[in-house]
């Protein structure tokens, strides 16, 4: 059973470009969470999605950032017109439906390291 | 407000010595508590978790943690550290699922021979 898959592992963009980060949850998982890790900081929650729905986006910057989790395909975190301050590691986690048995609530991917030139 | 505090930013211990990493939390409901380890350039690996029952929980790699409700703490311990334990350690609190986790800022562990 493959874990949470994130790609790319590393992404380099120039200021003003768009960054698209992908996350494929574990099989059977319908909940996806995105976190951002800035240097020397812990992980900060950004957004929580279920299939085709944004449940909680309280941690998302109001501008330039968006997320989706379509019925088919991976979850996408999109950053438009990137700036140097967007440089960070972005982690995706997934969890099963609340009624499912699980010994681990959120499974994390290996992250995407975004660097802005 | 929900939050997690890891007061030690960086700890250095000798190989074979004991280790304790501190974690204090603030959470409005009954917390689920977690410790994760992150090796450089890697994702998060769950070391152990607590949500009820025995307040001393055992995890992988010889780690254990003790939940103390009166102190709002969930400190991580290991009796004898190995060089391979060098990594970043994160304490987190949250609901079981369907909600975000709150992470501490992490403690970086260096192990010297």
pLDDT of amino acid B51: 84
| Chain A partners within 8 Å of B5 (Cβ) | none
Cβ contact B105:B36 at 8 Å? no
**Which of the listed ranges A11-25, B23-37, B93-107 does the model predict with the highest average pLDDT?**
A11-25
CB within 8 Å: B105 and A113 = no
Residues of B in contact with A10 (CB under 8 A): none
pLDDT digits (tens, 9 = 90+) for B61-76: 999 999 999 999 999 9
Is A95 in Cβ contact with B97 (below 8 Å)? yes
Query: What's the rounded Cα separation, in Å, for the pair A62 and B74?
Result: 34
**What DSSP string describes B21-54?**
E--EEE-SSSPEEEEEEE-TT--EEEEEEESSS-
- Check CB contact under 8 Å for A42 and B41: no
Rounded to the nearest integer, the mean pLDDT of chain B is 91
Contact state of A42 with B42 under an 8 Å Cβ cutoff: no
Residues of A in contact with B101 (CB under 8 A): 33, 35, 43, 45, 93, 106
What average pLDDT does the segment B103-113 reach?
A: 95
Instruction: Please report the sign of the dihedral spanned by the C-alpha atoms of residue B79, residue A41, residue A12, residue B110.
Output: negative
Hey, is B75 helix, strand or coil? strand
Measuring CA to CA, which residue among B8, B1, B26, B30 is closest to residue B89? B8
CB A92 within 8 A of CB A36: no
- The residue in chain B having the minimum alpha-carbon distance to the alpha carbon of residue A31 is B98
Taking the Cβ of residue A40 and every Cβ of chain B, the question of whether any pair is shorter than 8 Å is answered with yes
Handedness of CA A34, B93, A98, B88 (dihedral sign): positive
Q: How would residue B35 be classed by pLDDT, with cut points 50, 70 and 90?
A: very high
What's the pLDDT score for residue A10? Answer: 96
pLDDT at B94 (0 to 100): 85
Per-residue pLDDT of chain A (117 residues; tens, 9 = 90+): 578 999 999 999 999 999 999 999 999 888 999 999 987 788 999 999 998 999 999 999 999 999 999 999 999 999 999 999 999 999 999 988 765 555 567 889 999 999 999
Of B102, B100, B82, residue with least CA distance to B91 = B102
Instruction: Report the candidate in A94, A98, A117 with the shortest Cα–Cα distance to residue A4.
Output: A94
Count of beta carbons in the 10 Å neighbourhood of residue A36: 21
Q: What is the DSSP letter of A84?
A: G
B113: its two tokens:
């021979």
For the cut 60, the answer to whether the pLDDT of residue B60 exceeds it is yes
Q: Is the pLDDT of residue B97 over 80?
A: no
Residue A31 with chain B: CB contacts under 8 Å: 97-98
Tell me how close the Cα of B51 comes to any Cα of chain A, in angstroms.
11
Per the model's pLDDT, the better-predicted residue between B87 and A95 turns out to be B87
What is the distance in angstroms between the Cα of B44 and the nearest Cα belonging to chain A?
6
Strand partners, B37: B45, B89
| pLDDT value of residue A47 | 95
């Amino acid at each position: 059973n493959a874990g949470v898959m994130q790609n790319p592992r590393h992404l380099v963009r120039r200021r003003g470009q768009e960054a698209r980060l992908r996350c494929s949850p574990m099989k059977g998982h319908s909940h996806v969470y995105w976190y951002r890790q800035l240097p020397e900081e812990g992980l900060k929650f950004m957004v929580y999605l279920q299939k085709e729905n944004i449940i909680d986006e309280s941690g998302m910057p109001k501008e330039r950032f968006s997320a989706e989790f379509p019925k088919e395909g991976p979850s996408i975190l999109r950053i438009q017109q990137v700036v140097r301050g967007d440089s960070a590691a972005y982690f995706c986690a997934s969890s099963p439906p609340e009624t499912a048995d699980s010994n681990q609530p959120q499974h994390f991917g290996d992250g995407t390291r975004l660097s802005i030139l | 407000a929900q939050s997690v505090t890891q007061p030690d930013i960086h700890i250095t211990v000798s190989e074979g010595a004991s280790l304790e990493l501190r974690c204090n939390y603030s959470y409005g409901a009954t917390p689920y508590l977690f410790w994760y380890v992150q090796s450089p350039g890697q994702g998060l690996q769950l070391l152990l978790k607590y949500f009820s029952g025995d307040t001393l929980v055992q995890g992988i790699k010889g780690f254990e943690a003790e939940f103390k409700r009166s102190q709002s703490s969930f400190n991580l311990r290991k009796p004898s550290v190995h060089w391979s334990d060098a990594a970043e350690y994160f304490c987190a609190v949250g609901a079981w699922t369907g909600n975000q986790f709150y992470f501490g800022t992490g403690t970086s562990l260096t192990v010297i021979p």
